[in-house]
Chains A and B, each alone.
Chain A
């Protein structure tokens, strides 16, 4: 068996390019940097667990791997070393909890008002911080109450159109079901029938919290759900860039899953903007966009860039009349999935995000766009602006809100639709 991840350290010429881009080592001495804990330290790791706990300060954003001109799988080496570390020490309760969004989702959803009160109550959060280690100020989404899965069951779309499969991920399901409905609306507007299979977590949070065995179980379960559709030749689209990337690449590369079904699912997986842009290239995207006279800064999250697909959101939104997108040039918002939630890492995550927050604030816009849910929550937390998925802008530009017979979204101003997390005045109940 060749170990492709470890072997990639052979390509490292120590050039420091990864270090110049690492957002974490820039702001804290606790993380010695991607070159150090990656290809360098890997040479000191024998068959046993790693002796360097500092690798746990890697946020796993993956920028190092993207910028490395020599194809060293830096972030992947780190990710594995972290897993080995926790294998030895045992994954702490906190990491076990935040790594299981479906469990949290199932617990929180039936009691959403209470859970949301607790999530945003300072006294409770103080207790949570000291007992479990989730930082009291870390951005937390609000439970929507009724999951996207449940909502989608009562939705009746076209029946005879070509089908796409929607992999919505946990964020959409439990916290942002409205985004899921917008996804469906935009896809249906473009003539698709949207299949929403039963689905569970992709395992990414478990992977980044060092529990590889459990992560593999989740991946396999999800792949089992999706693979019949992939076999049928249907494209699978996702609005969660990190979960999509998990299935596209990380489950194979980092978790080391060698599996034909996974491969099939990977090859069928598209980021939704990537998918729509491909439609557009074929001339199959509807371009009946109305005017959207807004100036919106756009942040391409780290995981989005890991897809290697460019920035299709910007290419799509360029089609919308009067919409002025500002492409931000900052690598990372800091949150990196669950990294910034942790008590000992919250300040680091906020320091990482500061440049992005400043740049967004400097645009003067009260709206920002970003593809990844946790990044949107972090941006909203760090800037106070509303952060939306690019699909939401397309949805608006198509005028879908206005034509929505149920009037679910169209009557409210954009900002309210996408009220950020941590804003406790968000009225989650009104979605139903």
Chain B
């Protein structure tokens, strides 16, 4: 591969980048997407999973609320397989001003976000674990959004329309022709091969890393990285997305996401989006806030903690609290800003509005690609969502019913069968268990890979995908990577699990003495 050509080169494989690639491909542009790591390995794959109704922004940021509800309605149709219609509940706990509920209702009314106050008793009937001392409760159409399915759905859909999706391809430099960006010099992180990609328009969709990409074209994009911490709990403590009815703050969302439920989030400015250290005080903060929403939360089992970085675009002076920086997206045409043509940056925003962001970016790209072409992403379903059937929690369980024990289940927590695993290995052509994890949720359940990772390694190896050394390496890498998210929340039941996993990996299999 010496060089590639495209109308549009997208840098960044999160929801924005994948959305842009899909949008451009659907409009008939030849498109290439590069991502330095795996798709959705940055901010998108680390967000809480809330498909906003807009309720959260109804008071503070009405325009964001309007965008959210509009996109929420679109994604329920076009990305149905990624969306679980859990519904959302805003509750006033004893720590929240019940008067805020009136502002909240008013804000929702003004922004077209359907909201309805229900009696507290009804709210508790629907969510029996929620703090019985709540004073008000409101229903909104929040939903749960699976970020990996979303990004891969976009990527597959883009590929079906001729796009090339290149994960593990790092942009080393942008190619300039005078004051024009004409492509990028990239390196495959897997093979080490370097090559050029020439494109008429380069769209920088690197999110929190967008500043780093812009630097390569000597442009300035001020993106602050707002780190948010999330903790996944072992099972659904709530069935709806439960929000505190107050001005958005730390630890005020608890939502079901697939088999787990997730509490989020915090907001801490970090100088480097790649440096996200999980601090004990943030864990404690989330657990304490969780306790306010669901009494007994501290005794419930935490599975895993992780941090994501929000790209917060700021065009003006410094702002102390990152949450007050606008969540609405920013589209920067660097020709008008810095006189650099062929180069757009789309950043800020939120996963819920990724499609809208992509539309804006590709609309702008059209101007440099010979005139407008209509956007089709609001109508065309994503790959995997063609049936418009919304995801349901019981799908994997139901799929196994017709023929009992028809094949082996490799990951028992997440009900991943051998054929699904083998298919994913083939499809991704990967040697990394972590890639498989993001595709299938391998090892994301209670045992955090204690049982399935040995099995998956064996299958990866036996299928000839990796040699013995590669198999050992991905196994060890996986254990290290997993530990990063596990050790900050190790207590109670999850420590029991971790100790059993130690016995399995070290006591029984003796992984420390693998020949590598």
**Which residues of A pack against B, CB within 8 Å?**
1-3, 6-7, 9-15, 29-32, 35-36, 39-48, 50-54, 70
Contact B493 A42 (CB under 8 A): no
Q: Which 4 A-B pairs give the minimum distances between C-beta atoms?
A: A10-B301, A51-B398, A51-B394, A44-B397
- Please name 15 further chain A to chain B contacts, defined as beta carbons within 8 Å, in addition to the given A10-B234, A40-B415, A44-B396, sorted by A numbering: A2-B296, A9-B234, A11-B493, A13-B446, A13-B500, A14-B446, A14-B450, A36-B409, A41-B397, A44-B259, A44-B397, A51-B398, A52-B394, A52-B398, A54-B401
Q: Are A10 and B235 in contact (CB under 8 A)?
A: yes
Q: Is B447 on the interface with A (CB-CB < 8 A)?
A: yes
In the complex, how many angstroms separate the beta carbon of B404 from the nearest chain A beta carbon? 5
A-side contacts of B401, CB under 8 Å: 51-54
Instruction: Give the interface size class of chain B.
Output: 35 or more
A-B contact pairs, 27 of them (CB 8 A): A1-B128, A2-B296, A7-B300, A10-B234, A10-B301, A10-B493, A13-B450, A14-B446, A31-B404, A36-B412, A40-B415, A42-B235, A43-B234, A43-B260, A44-B259, A44-B393, A44-B396, A44-B397, A44-B415, A45-B397, A46-B239, A46-B393, A52-B394, A52-B400, A54-B401, A70-B493, A70-B496
Residues of chain B contacted by A15 (CB below 8 angstroms): 500
A7: chain B residues at CB < 8 Å are 300
Q: Which residues of B contact A6 (CB under 8 A)?
A: 235
Residues of A with C-beta under 8 A to B500: 13, 15
A107 CA to B467 CA, complexed, in Å = 71
Interface centre among A31, A35, A36, A40 (most CB of B within 10 A): A40
Contact A44 B394 (CB under 8 A): yes
Find out whether the CB atom of A43 lies under 8 angstroms from the CB atom of B394: no
Question: Hey, which chain B residues are within 8 Å of A10, CB to CB?
Answer: 234-235, 300-301, 492-493
Is A52's CB under 8 angstroms from B397's CB? yes
Q: Which residues of B contact A70 (CB under 8 A)?
A: 493, 496
Q: Give per-residue flags for B239-282: 1 if the beta carbon is below 8 A from chain A beta carbons, else 0.
A: 10000000000000000000110000000000000000000000
Given contacts A1-B128, A14-B446, A15-B500, contact A46 B236 (CB under 8 A): yes
Contact A13 B447 (CB under 8 A): yes
B459 located at the interface, meaning its Cβ lies under 8 Å from any Cβ of chain A in the complex: no
B461 at the interface (CB under 8 A from A): no
Chain B nearest CB, measured from A112 CB (Å): 41
Could you say which residues of chain A place their CB within 8 Å of the CB of B404?
29-32, 54
Q: In the complex, what residues of A have CB within 8 A of residue B451's CB?
A: 14
B188 CB within 8 Å of chain A: no
CB closest residue in chain B, given A28: B404
B124 to chain A minimum Cβ distance, whole angstroms, is: 8
| Complex alpha-carbon distance, A48 and B392, angstroms | 11
Are A9 and B128 neighbours in the complex by a CB distance under 8 Å?
A: no
How far is B398's CA from A14's CA once the two chains are assembled, in angstroms?
21
Minimal Cβ-Cβ distance residue in A for B132: A1
The smallest beta-carbon distance between A55 and chain B, in angstroms, is: 10
A40 close to B129 (CB less than 8 A):
no
* Contact residues of B between 100 and 139, Cβ < 8 Å to A: 126, 128-129
Q: CB of B445 within 8 A of chain A?
A: yes
Question: With the chains together, A95 CA to B294 CA distance in Å?
Answer: 38
**What's the minimum C-beta distance from B282 to chain A, rounded to whole angstroms?**
22
Chain A: which residue is nearest B409 at the CB level? A36
Q: Which residue of B lies closest to A48 (CB)?
A: B394
Q: Is B74 an interface residue (CB 8 A)?
A: no
Roughly how many angstroms separate A13 CA and B500 CA in the complex, as a whole number? 8
Instruction: Give A12's nearest chain B residue, CB to CB.
Output: B446
Interface check B328, CB cutoff 8 A: no
- Interfacial chain A residues near B126, Cβ < 8 Å: 47
Contact for B496 among A11, A40, A44, CB less than 8 A? A11
Q: Are A35 and B397 in contact (CB under 8 A)?
A: no
Complex: how many Å from CA A48 to CA B450? 30
Any A CB within 8 A of the CB of B413: yes
Please tell me if B405 contacts chain A, counting CB pairs below 8 Å. yes
Given A10-B493, A14-B447, A40-B412, A46-B394 contact (CB < 8 Å): yes
Interface assignment of B222: CB less than 8 Å from any CB of chain A: no
Task: Please report whether the interface of chain A is mostly helix, strand, loop or mixed according to DSSP.
Answer: loop
> Does B497 make an interface contact (CB < 8 A)?
yes
Name which residue of chain A comes closest to B393, CB basis. A46
Q: How far is the CA of A36 from the CA of B235 in the complex (A)?
A: 15
Q: Is the CB of B413 within 8 A of A9?
A: no
Cα distance A15–B450 in the bound complex, in angstroms: 9
How close is B117's CB to chain A, nearest CB, in angstroms? 21
Task: Return chain B residues, CB-CB under 8 Å to A54.
Answer: 401, 404
CB-CB under 8 A from B393, the residues of chain A are: 44-46
From A1, A2, A10, A11, residue with most partner B Cβ within 10 Å: A10
> Nearest-CB distance from A328 to chain B (Å)?
30
> Min CB distance, B360 to chain A, in Å?
36
In the complex, A7 Cα to B394 Cα: how many Å? 18
* Complex interface: chain A residues within 8 A of B445 (CB): 43
Bound form: Cα–Cα A50–B239 in Å: 15
Nearest residue, chain B, Cβ from A70: B496
- B128:A3 contact, CB within 8 angstroms: yes
CA A307 – CA B234 in complex, angstroms?
30
**A26 nearest CB across to chain B (Å):** 13
B258 to chain A, nearest CB (A): 9
Report whether B394 and A47 are in contact in the complex, using a CB–CB cutoff of 8 Å.
no
Separation of A245 and B295 alpha carbons in the complex (Å): 31
Give chain B interface residues in 349-406, CB to chain A under 8 Å. Answer: 392-394, 396-398, 400-401, 404-405
Q: Are A14 and B412 neighbours in the complex by a CB distance under 8 Å?
A: yes
In the assembled complex, the CB of B475 is this many whole angstroms from the nearest CB of chain A, namely 18
**Bound complex: CA of A386 vs CA of B311, how far in Å?**
77
With both chains docked as a complex, state the minimum distance between the C-beta of B456 and any C-beta of chain A, in angstroms. 15
Taking the closest CB of chain A, its distance from the CB of B225, in whole angstroms, is 33
**Which of B259, B396, B497 contacts A13 (CB under 8 A)?**
B497
Contacts of B413 in A (CB 8 A): 14, 40, 43
Q: Tell which of B235, B398, B415 touches A9, judged by Cβ atoms closer than 8 Å.
A: B235
Instruction: Kindly list chain A residues whose C-beta atoms are within 8 Å of the C-beta of B496.
Output: 11, 13, 70
CB-defined contacts of A45 to chain B, threshold 8 Å: 393-394, 397
**Known A-B contacts A2-B296, A46-B239, A70-B496; A32 and B405 likewise in contact (beta carbons under 8 Å):** yes
With A15-B500, A32-B404 in contact, is A47–B450 under 8 Å at CB? Answer: no
Contacts of A44 in B (CB 8 A): 259, 393-394, 396-397, 415
Q: How many angstroms from the CA of A36 to the CA of B400 in the assembled complex?
A: 11
Within 8 A of A (CB), among B213-246: 234-236, 239
Q: Tell me which residues across on chain A come within 8 A of B239, comparing CB atoms.
A: 46-47
Q: Roughly how many angstroms separate A13 CA and B259 CA in the complex, as a whole number?
A: 16
Q: Which residues of A contact B296 (CB under 8 A)?
A: 2
Complexed CA–CA distance, A48 and B394 (Å): 10
Question: Bound state CA distance, A387 and B209, in angstroms?
Answer: 76
Q: Report whether A46 and B392 are in contact in the complex, using a CB–CB cutoff of 8 Å.
A: yes
Please, which residues of chain B bring their CB within 8 A of the CB of A41? 397
Chain B nearest CB, measured from A256 CB (Å) = 12
Q: Report the nearest A residue to B294, measured CB to CB.
A: A2
Question: In whole angstroms, how far apart are the Cα atoms of A13 and B128 in the complex?
Answer: 26
Shortest Cβ gap from A221 to chain B (Å): 27
Closest Cβ of chain A: how far from B112's Cβ, in Å? 28
User: Residues of A contacting B446 with CB < 8 Å?
Assistant: 12-14, 39, 43
Bound together, the chains give a CA A54 to CA B404 distance in angstroms of 8
- In the assembled complex, how far is the CB of residue B269 from the closest CB belonging to chain A, in whole angstroms? 34
Instruction: State how many angstroms separate the Cβ of B367 from the closest Cβ of chain A.
Output: 47
- Expressed in whole angstroms, the Cα–Cα distance for A274 and B239 within the complex equals 44
Q: How far is the CB of A247 from chain B (nearest CB, A)?
A: 26
| Chain B residue with Cβ nearest A69 | B496
Q: Which residues of B contact A30 (CB under 8 A)?
A: 404
Candidate in A7, A32, A43, A48 with the most chain B CB atoms within 10 angstroms: A43
Within 8 A of A (CB), among B441-496: 445-447, 450-451, 492-493, 496
Residues of B within 8 A of A47 (CB): 126, 239
Per-residue A-contact encoding for B290-316, CB less than 8 Å = 1, 0 else: 000000100011000000000000000
Shortest distance between the CB of A39 and any CB in chain B (Å): 8
Which residues of chain A are near B405, meaning CB under 8 Å?
A: 29, 32
Within 8 A of A (CB), among B291-348: 296, 300-301
